[in-house]
Amino acid sequence: MSQSSRPAVILLSGGLDSATVLAEARAAGHVCHTLAVDYGQRHRAELVAAKRVSTALGAHSHKVLGVDLRAIGGSALTDDIEVPTEPGEGIPVTYVPARNTLMLSLALGYAEVLAATDLWIGVNAVDYSGYPDCRPQFIAAFEALCQVATKAGVEGSRFAVHTPLIHLSKADIIRRGVALGVDYALTVSCYQADAEGRACGRCDSCRLRRQGFEQAGIPDPTRYASLMQRKEVNDRD
């Protein structure tokens, strides 16, 4: 099967990084099947954004699967824990226990049904919040798991977990995405976006996103809920 006809499953959160990864997979010639996971996160705006991005970037199909991580909690994104607005020490409370493990497992199952062996995910180990499941060690371990946890793997298929952003700065990711035609105005990165997908401008994800656009020298298209946040971004631009 040629590269141009190979199916791939792309985990798509609706945020900046995963939108860039979808563009990368498309540029690699894959037939892209996007997968969003409704895991009980604080808002549904990112799921709406994922569908929007999938359509805009020409994915072959888009699917949403549900896993209720609110049932176990333990994160500011799935529990009654306040989202921090200042950087802290160590792994932040926005870390969701086992989230990427579960998401990649769902992507793996979907890929096996599609006879696909390529999984794409937008993890990053440079400009990120320190999550353990965004690090190269985790990705290498999961890729090894794919070979022994699936019928396709034990019968000789070789799965690959593609992480094209893992060693890039946020600014480099944005530059790459713009070059690939990503419209970042379609994306939602905020941990606590409102019902319309407008960003708070204060959480860690908003801070990293805003700094990325500043360092890339590209106007920030993020829609902010606060008039003050919009004014601050406009003043910088």
Give residue 227's identity as a one-letter amino acid code: L
Phi/psi region, residue 212 (left: phi>0; alpha: psi -120 to 50; beta: rest), is alpha
Separation of alpha carbons 152 and 38, rounded Å: 27
pLDDT score of 229: 52
Six-digit token string for 83: 């989202």
How large is the average pLDDT for residues 50-60?
98
Fold of domain 3-190: Rossmann fold (3.40.50)
pLDDT of 231 higher than 90: no
Check pLDDT > 70 for residue 128: no
Mean pLDDT confidence for 90-117: 93
Q: Any residues with CB less than 8 A from the CB of 156 and at least 6 apart, and which?
A: none
How much of the chain exceeds pLDDT 90, in percent?
74
Between residues 83 and 47, the one the model is more confident about: 47
Confidence of residue 131 (pLDDT cuts 50, 70, 90): confident
Distance CA 70, CA 223 (A): 27
Structure tokens that stand for 124 in this block: 């990053």
pLDDT tens for each residue of 98-111:
999 999 999 999 99
Contact 54, 62 (CB under 8 A): yes
Give tens-digit pLDDT for 141-164.
999 999 999 999 999 999 999 999
Q: Tokens for 21, please give them.
A: 């990864």
Q: Phi/psi at 105 (nearest 5 deg)?
A: -65, -40
Residue 82 has pLDDT above 70, yes or no: yes
Helix (H, G, I), strand (E, B) or coil at 93: coil
From 49-58, 75-84, 140-149, 205-214, the region with the lowest mean pLDDT: 75-84
| Whether 78 contacts 221, CB under 8 Å | no
Question: What residue has token string 């991580």?
Answer: 69
Asked whether 198 and 41 are in contact (CB, 8 A), the reply is: no
pLDDT at 1: 46
CA dist 150 to 44, 47, 48, 146, 153, Å? 31, 28, 31, 6, 5
* Closest-CA residue to 49 (of 95, 12, 76): 12
Mean pLDDT of 205-234: 82
Collapse the DSSP code of 185 into the 3-class scheme (helix H, G, I; strand E, B; otherwise coil) and give the result.
helix
Q: What does the pLDDT read at residue 233?
A: 46
Read off the pTM. 0.90
Average pLDDT over residues 30-56: 94
